[in-house]
């Protein structure tokens, strides 16, 4: 089976996912999971919750709704439409699991995270908060089925459930990305990855960075004219195909310098450079540091 550009990128970024709260809340409560430098998400399993974002009116979430924060936007989920205080958040955390009076809201909270810390603008074009109104049963049936299975695994907690939840949450991230394209994301790296032809070119770059690609070669491979490919790639990504190729090669090289014992020359060959000198020059121009500095810093950590 052939891979695709998004799968290859997620594999390289080493997406991790975890659920850290699966609980019921009663009475007056508030939850704040921002500030972790991850990608938090919340699923309302039952009842209702108010979503509070700075500068926006409170938004009521119903059972089945999912909210995600691609850039860790400050936020609260709470029982009330009025913005909660930090003190209420602290009291809520301390009393998770305690029985109280009032309506019950079931929440599943977790996060997505890229284990490879290299910056890559996969999430840059997404909104600060994504709300999937999965309480509307006429929409996104596959995502709702995935969430039902995820919650069932958490509730039943059978042997192996922790790993199962991790895999299901990983898949959920891909569903979230797909949902944004379905809503009309027209530009950005995500849109480029899903583009029928530019996505093919990105996949070639991601899987074969060692090849001596030219703009004309890439365009021919995906069935576009050289000029048409250049314009469409720049429109979607905001950069040129050749600069993207160089940046991707240097991201690969940086990871190898940090995590492998390969020589600089061997890394240069893997990244499509015929001489170590040309690789060192390109690396310094794009990364801003020499390969030796990157490797030395990795060894000191």
Which CATH topology does 195-300 take?
Arc Repressor Mutant, subunit A (1.10.10)
209 C-beta neighbours (distance < 10 Å), count: 19
Position 229 scores a pLDDT of 98
| Spatial distance between the Cα atoms of 38 and 73, rounded to a whole number of angstroms | 10
CA distances from 271 to 99, 116, 137, 212, 278 (A): 58, 18, 47, 9, 11
Q: Give the separation between CA 56 and CA 167, rounded to whole angstroms.
A: 33
pLDDT at 7: 85
pLDDT in tens, 83-94: 998 889 889 877
Is residue 301 predicted with pLDDT exceeding 60? Answer: no
Please tell me what DSSP assigns to residue 132.
E
- Give the Cα separation of 46 and 293 in Å (integer): 52
Sorted by where each begins, the domain ranges of the chain are 5-182, 195-300
> CA-based Rg of the chain, rounded to a whole angstrom?
22
247-273 pLDDT tens trace: 999 988 998 998 899 999 999 999 999
CATH class, domain 5-182, is: mainly beta
Query: Which pLDDT band, with edges at 50, 70 and 90, does 234 fall under?
Result: very high
- pLDDT of 300 > 60? The answer is no
Percent of the chain with pLDDT over 90: 59
Fold agreement between 5-182 and 195-300: no
User: Could you report the per-residue pLDDT of 24-82, keeping only the tens digit for each?
Assistant: 999 899 999 888 888 999 999 999 999 999 889 999 999 999 999 998 999 999 999 99
Per residue in 96-140, pLDDT (tens digit) is: 777 777 889 999 999 998 877 665 678 877 888 999 988 777 778
What predicted TM-score, i.e. pTM, was given to this entire model?
Answer: 0.81
Instruction: Write the pLDDT tens digit of every residue in 143-188.
Output: 999 999 999 999 898 999 989 988 999 899 999 998 888 776 678 8
């Amino acid at each position: 089976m052939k891979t695709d550009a998004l799968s290859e990128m997620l594999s390289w970024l080493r997406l991790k996912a975890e659920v850290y709260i699966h609980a019921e809340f009663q009475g007056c409560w508030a939850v704040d999971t921002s500030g972790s430098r991850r990608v938090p998400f919340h699923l309302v399993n039952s009842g209702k919750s108010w979503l509070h974002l700075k500068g926006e009116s409170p938004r009521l979430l119903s059972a089945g709704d999912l909210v995600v924060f691609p850039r860790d936007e400050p936020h609260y989920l709470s029982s009330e439409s009025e913005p909660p205080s930090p003190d209420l958040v602290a009291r809520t955390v301390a009393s998770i699991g305690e029985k109280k009076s009032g309506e019950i809201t079931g929440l599943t909270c977790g996060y997505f995270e890229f284990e490879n810390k290299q910056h890559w603008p996969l999430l840059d074009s997404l909104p600060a908060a994504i709300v999937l109104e999965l309480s509307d049963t006429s929409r996104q049936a596959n995502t709702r089925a995935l969430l039902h299975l995820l919650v069932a695994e958490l509730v039943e907690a059978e042997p192996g459930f922790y790993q199962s939840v991790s895999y299901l949450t990983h898949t959920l991230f891909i569903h979230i990305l797909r949902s944004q394209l379905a809503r009309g994301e027209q530009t950005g790296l995500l849109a480029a990855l899903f583009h029928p032809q530019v996505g093919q070119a990105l996949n070639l770059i991601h899987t074969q960075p060692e090849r001596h690609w030219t703009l004309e070669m890439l365009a021919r491979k995906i069935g576009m004219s050289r000029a048409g490919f250049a314009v469409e790639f720049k429109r979607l990504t905001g950069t040129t195909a050749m600069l993207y190729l160089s940046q991707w090669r240097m991201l690969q090289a940086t990871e190898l310098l940090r995590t492998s014992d390969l020589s600089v020359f061997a890394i240069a060959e893997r990244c499509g450079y015929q001489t170590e000198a040309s690789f060192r020059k390109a690396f310094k121009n794009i990364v801003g540091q020499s390969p030796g500095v990157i490797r030395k810093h990795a060894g000191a950590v």
